[in-house]
Structure 1
Amino acid sequence: MVAGLKIVIVGSGPAGMYAAGAIVKKNPESVIDIVDKLATPYGLVRAGVAPDHQTTKNVTRAYDKVMENDNVRFVGNIGLGDDIPLDKLRDLYDVVIIATGTPKDRNLGIPGEDKDGVFGAQTFVYWYNGHPEYRDAVPNLDITTAVVIGNGNVALDAARILMRTEEEMAHSDLADHAATEIFNSPLQSVHVVGRRAPENAQFSSKELSEFGDLTSAKTYTDKTNLPEEFISEDKKETKVVNTNLDLLRSFEQIGPGIKGRSVHLDFLASPIEVMGDTSITGVRFERNEIVDGKAVGTGETYDIDCQLLVSCIGYEMGILEGLPVEKGIVKNDEGCIADGLYVVGWAKRGPSGTIGTNRIDSQNVVDRILGDFDTGGNPDKAGPAGLDQWCQDRNIRAVSFDDWKKINAAEIDRAGDQSPRRKFVRTRDMLSLLKEGS
């Protein structure tokens, strides 16, 4: 058994929580601080999972159990870089684990994407989920047409949330400010456009099936683009793709003269220009064909007039002081960045897989850490006491897990009978609540 280590995990999302859980199980003598820049834990589960997918959020019950261990602390409202530098964390702890995810949208790389009305998926999703840093990144939803780029679940989330009615979202935790904009919007149509063919789309069948249940909008696609059958050497892939193709066949055939609210699932097209002066007025697309398994432009173009564009083409790691970033992730060797410095989750491997994918990934990195520290840690490291002193000296108000329980209870109390919670969307309001209750 490795002697107890002093470990700090930066980020309390799924990857960080699974890492903490693995350490508790495999090296219960260690002490673990889970540091997060937000006053609320669980990262992507709170800020990324769609507000109408409450079942997915139940995973936090397992994370709560990890947090209840005596050797685990949540230390919220402390940002890496802004409040404490990475070098200081490395001085205080035997092990630093980076679990920040990939908090930067990939650029489309086309002219005009800097115009007003163009948003990356992270900005848009964090806005409607009530992330404090994106509370005021309000898109103008006094619009009639929106375009969503991408053929993954995030693209479907964005389109679905835009077209849900207030009644459909009654049991969600959609942030109040976003609900006001969405439900009062005159939006009539959303185009979800992917560059590859329908059989290459990365969305899940469950996500796709929800478009058949929208109460105020019909879903359309071009069924002439659908292959009769998809066959792969991977039986699981074959089943998923053919289920998706059957769902696409169940939607309406797109055609001229569509009236009423509508969602258009379009394939084989790539955006090449965002049109307009300072604000978006439309998007120009080039039609594609599949050549040797790749989407290749044909030279034929068409335009979609719109006033909102949400780009859902993936995420990457931004520049963070002290971390080597390469090809959108933190450069690492099976999770090891440098002596005593490790990375897990999307920051390690890129934005892929589901929430559960992070479990095995984090467990493997923990095994690597315990192997690297088989002789134990440095008894001279200050660990949690050193972090507390750092915060005290700089008047940083850290948020504990008990503090989070108070915030959580208040959000639930505010919600009423139907919604699971009514979120606080400003950190200052959360801290004021804690001050009042102290």
Structure 2
Amino acid sequence: MDTSESIHVAIVGSGPSGFYAAEALLRSELPVRVDMFERLPTPYGLVRSGVAPDHQKLKQPIQVFERIARTPEFGFLGNVTIGIDVTIEELKAAYHAIIFACGAQKDRRMDIPGEDLDGSHTATEFVGWYNGHPDYRDRVFDLQQEVVAIIGQGNVAVDVCRILTRPVDELKTSDIAEHALDALSQSRVREVHIIGRRGPAQAKFTSKELRELTGLTGTVATVDPEQLRLTSACETELASNTNVIAQKNMELFRAIAANAPQSGLRRIHFRFLASPFAVQGRDRVEKLSLVRNRLTGEPFRQSAMATNCFEELTCGLVFRSIGYKGVPIPGLPFDPMRGVLPNAAGRIVDGESVLPGLYVTGWLKRGPSGIIGTNRADSLETVESLLTDLAKHPPRYAPGLKGVAPIIERRCARVVGLADWFDIDAAEVERGTSRGKPREKFTRIEEMLSLVS
């Protein structure tokens, strides 16, 4: 392969999977030039806008991403929307390859009556709101409600619960958005119910996150001991050496159940084997209708089946946290059931045909699973496929950024380059210093653009 010309690769999306893909490309032996396109003026995806503000250590990968970004062969183009400021066809003409790393941007719906009532929200909205994401900056959550229901039993549900119940004084030194801190300081939330359709042995919390909920200042966690009775299939699951997290979780649940209830505190209730079938209320959420479930099936393949037992939970807020899906990208094949771009080892496929030069990584490749670090191996696989394809087929000439820069400049109000982002970053850190915080984020795109104009 003639390497006299650089290999130009466009990465769409600037979250962990995108940066790990960039890292793998830049470490290859080829003369690669990587240009990363991001809809927002800010990079880092869910590490910036998804990790809870009271978990600052989980944001440390940003240090790795920043080092990657400072590589001379790396370029960042923020505030650029694919499909509006530049099309996929225009990118294909300018680059040897495109890697889509857009994540899973859409929440799964419960598809039940009343789901869209005022007071019924997605976890993504709330997480984006308290993290200062521009898309969710102006969302309103009625925190004067005393009882909250969270549907789903994964770590995002834990984050929502913890931010609702952690004392505000303990959040003041985090990078939580100021508007969220102000609203939470007036909160009247006293009870949070975390509801799962399956049993305690199938809950998707990591043990560290679950344990943290049991030690919050001024808050007590509860679970009905009867709900911890396990079927033989659940016992078999817990006995597996591959199921250590579930074993630790069960130990924690049993410890919670053994604690004597306390009064006058905020309370977190873990509820299992229940599914919502309606959100009730005239103009806003007033009740959540639940059906009791039972588990059927073999170990590790158990599903929740509805029974004839029903109950109602009076509550004023409902958050759903039942998973995410990718969204279709015009011009590319899409699997609507899984919410991913169909692929083979990261190569985008249409039926049985591989689409040359088009690749995917991260949640849009495998679905919303794993932690931040999971994306490194995932992106490495995609990049290995890309490099293998380049070795088999000598690349055509591709101008890279030079081929699309004039197009983007005509259509985009203001491209935010890497130097611009570092200016925004420094300004946020400076704003936070005066408040005793790691940073105070800009929460509106106009604010960011005015800073670098």
TM over 0.5: yes
Residue by residue, what CA displacement relative to the aligned partner does 1:318-343 show, whole Å, maximum 9, x if unpaired?
23211222121112222112111111
Q: Are positions 1:287 and 2:296 aligned together?
A: no
Q: Are positions 1:426 and 2:431 aligned together?
A: no
Which residue identity is paired with 1:103? Q
Task: Give the TM-score of the pair, scaled to structure 2.
Answer: 0.91
Looking at structure 2, the residues matched to 160 and 24 of structure 1 have their Cα atoms a distance apart, in angstroms, of 39
The total of aligned residue pairs comes to 433
Looking at structure 2, the residues matched to 262 and 385 of structure 1 have their Cα atoms a distance apart, in angstroms, of 58
Which residue identity is paired with 2:303? K
Residue equivalent to 1:244: 249
State the SS of the aligned residue for 2:44. coil
Residue by residue, what CA displacement relative to the aligned partner does 1:251-278 show, whole Å, maximum 9, x if unpaired?
2569999643111111110001000123
Residue equivalent to 2:316: 307
Cα offset, 1:224, TM superposition: 2.4
Residue by residue, what CA displacement relative to the aligned partner does 1:55-90 show, whole Å, maximum 9, x if unpaired?
010011111111111111111111112322222211
Cα offset, 1:143, TM superposition: 1.1
Residue equivalent to 1:20: 22
Residue equivalent to 2:218: 216
Contact preservation (8 Å) 2:99, 2:360: yes
Query: RMSD in angstroms over aligned alpha carbons?
Result: 1.9
Q: Are positions 1:322 and 2:331 aligned together?
A: yes
Contact preservation (8 Å) 2:90, 2:404: no
Q: Are positions 1:268 and 2:273 aligned together?
A: yes
Contact preservation (8 Å) 2:8, 2:95: yes
State the SS of the aligned residue for 1:262. strand
Show the 5 A alignment for 1:185-200: 185-200=187-202
Show the 5 A alignment for 1:359-378: 359-374=376-391, 375-378=393-396
Which residue identity is paired with 1:25? R
Q: Aligned to 2:375, which of 354, 358, 383? A: 358
Cα offset, 1:386, TM superposition: 2.2
Which residue identity is paired with 2:184? I
Show the 5 A alignment for 1:23-422: 23-227=25-229, 230-232=235-237, 234-237=240-243, 239-251=244-256, 259-292=264-297, 293-326=302-335, 327=337, 328-337=339-348, 338-374=355-391, 375-379=393-397, 381-416=398-433, 418-422=436-440
Looking at structure 2, the residues matched to 433 and 245 of structure 1 have their Cα atoms a distance apart, in angstroms, of 50
Which residue identity is paired with 1:357? T
Q: Aligned to 2:11, which of 6, 9, 15? A: 9
Contact preservation (8 Å) 1:104, 1:318: yes
Task: Give the TM-score of the pair, scaled to structure 1.
Answer: 0.94
Contact preservation (8 Å) 1:143, 1:307: yes
Residue equivalent to 2:351: none
Looking at structure 2, the residues matched to 255 and 224 of structure 1 have their Cα atoms a distance apart, in angstroms, of 15
Contact preservation (8 Å) 2:276, 2:291: yes
Contact preservation (8 Å) 1:16, 1:362: yes
Contact preservation (8 Å) 1:99, 1:343: yes
Closer/same/farther in 2, CA of residues 225 and 2 from structure 1, 3 Å limit: farther
State the SS of the aligned residue for 1:245. helix
State the identity as a percent: 39
After alignment, is 189-198 or 173-182 more displaced? 173-182
After alignment, is 44-53 or 386-395 more displaced? 386-395
* Structure 2 segments unaligned to the other structure (5+ residues): 349-354
Which residue identity is paired with 1:306? C
Looking at structure 1, the residues matched to 57 and 75 of structure 2 have their Cα atoms a distance apart, in angstroms, of 26
Which residue identity is paired with 1:329? V
Cα offset, 1:44, TM superposition: 0.8
Contact preservation (8 Å) 2:86, 2:404: no
State the SS of the aligned residue for 1:178. helix
Cα offset, 1:158, TM superposition: 0.6
Looking at structure 1, the residues matched to 216 and 277 of structure 2 have their Cα atoms a distance apart, in angstroms, of 30
Looking at structure 1, the residues matched to 291 and 112 of structure 2 have their Cα atoms a distance apart, in angstroms, of 12
Cα offset, 1:378, TM superposition: 2.0
Cα offset, 1:225, TM superposition: 2.1
* Structure 1 segments unaligned to the other structure (5+ residues): none
State the SS of the aligned residue for 1:319. coil
